[in-house]
Amino acid sequence: MSQNLFIGSLAYATTDDSLKAFFETIGEVTSARVVTDRDSGRSKGFGFVEFADEANNQKAVDELNGKELDGRAINVNLARPKEDRPRRDFGGNDRGSQGGQGGGNGGGSFRQRSW
């Protein structure tokens, strides 16, 4: 499995195509994807780039980290594999005193302000 680059601090206007074009100054890009919100379709402000030649990954980090894309200075880092990230489990029955009720606010209800 090839190593991806994690691209952070993307402008909301950045698209898959503009991200790919920006990184093709380093070498051949096999995929460039801006992560979007499932419901709104709006960019989440980060994405991933994969080069045909993994040797370009470090070159991209060295040359493009902090450079401006669509009006914002971007962060370029090697992406961590998915299995390295902690698993987020919301609402299982193994949550102790919460009894599988969802969040940590006693049952998922919205607390009204008193003022």
Domain count, the chain: 1
Residue 16 lies in a domain: yes
Residue 98 lies in a domain: no
Residue 25 lies in a domain: yes
Give the per-residue pLDDT at 50: 97
Residue 107 lies in a domain: no
Give the per-residue pLDDT at 1: 58
Give the per-residue pLDDT at 82: 74
The sign of the CA dihedral 81, 86, 90, 94 is positive
Residue 86 lies in a domain: no
- What pTM does this model have? 0.71
- Please report, in angstroms and rounded to a whole number, the separation of the first and last CA atoms in the chain: 56
Residue 111 lies in a domain: no
Q: Where are the alpha helices (DSSP H) in the chain?
A: 16-23, 55-64
Residue 35 lies in a domain: yes
Q: What is the CATH number of the domain that holds 34?
A: 3.30.70.330
Range of the domain at 40: 5-78
DSSP E strand boundaries for the chain = 5-8, 29-36, 43-51, 68-69, 72-73, 75-78
Show pLDDT as tens, one digit a residue, over the chain (115 residues): 578 999 999 999 999 999 999 999 999 999 999 999 999 999 999 999 999 999 999 999 999 999 999 999 999 999 988 776 577 777 665 555 555 555 555 555 666 777 6
Give the per-residue pLDDT at 39: 95
Q: Is 23 helix (H, G, I), strand (E, B) or coil?
A: helix
Task: Please report, for residues 100, 105, 113, the alpha-carbon distance to residue 110 in angstroms, rounded to integers and kept in the order given.
Answer: 17, 8, 10
